[in-house]
Amino acid sequence: MRVIPVIDLMGGQVVRARMGDRASYLPLGSPLSPTSDAVDVVRGLLGVFPFPALYVADLDAIQGSGDNSQTLRRIRAESPSLQVWVDNGVADASALHAFNEADPGTLVIGSESQRDSKLIAQNRDSTRVVLSLDFRGDAFQGPQDILSEPALWPHRIIVMTLARVGSDAGPDLARFAAIRSIAGGRELYAAGGVRDASDLSALKAAGAFGALISTALHERRIVAADLEEM
């Protein structure tokens, strides 16, 4: 099972995400890092375990209030072998082309940022994109045809339950199972609510190819021994 740490960027700093309420996010305080600077935080995460990949949510770009492209370049310069998955709110072909030209990493296309299913359909066969199916409570975030037409999906899918991010509520196993039942042989990654190693084990048993985690790492409820076992 692949475990991918998450950082959320806002104003050049890593913030602590909680339940998708972005207006209330504050700079991250963590025993793994002396500051909330992204390079410090990534260095601290890699000190826990040699993660091959990192998920980055550029919240400024997603909300249309700027971007953290310079910070992404600093992360890549510090850790050139790290695979970086970036959700920055890309919603059309021109923005996707600009992302690929800049080459900050693998693009995560978030359903919440889409106006229609066109961009996803155009890139269903691409190995350079990941689709995030975003949910807030029981409501799917994005055009319904994205959710109802799995044939449009690329090979890698994130099942993102925003209300469980940083909530200690546990992963949404029912939601994950529902998506898995229609996903065919795609790689599914669970995001939101992972508290400890037992949650990782439950997701692995449910068929997850991987999981995105943050709070449990910073609070040391998931440690190197747990990750080695996974």
Dump pLDDT digits (tens) for 127-143. Answer: 999 999 999 888 999 99
Dump pLDDT digits (tens) for 48-77. Answer: 999 999 999 999 999 888 999 999 999 999
pTM of the model: 0.94
Mean pLDDT (whole number) for 93-98: 96
Domains, the chain: 2-229 (3.20.20.70)
Q: Are 43 and 7 in contact (CB under 8 A)?
A: no
Dump pLDDT digits (tens) for 195-223. Answer: 999 999 999 999 999 999 999 999 999 99
pLDDT value of residue 19? 63
Q: Give the model's confidence band at 230: pLDDT under 50 very low, under 70 low, under 90 confident, else very high.
A: confident
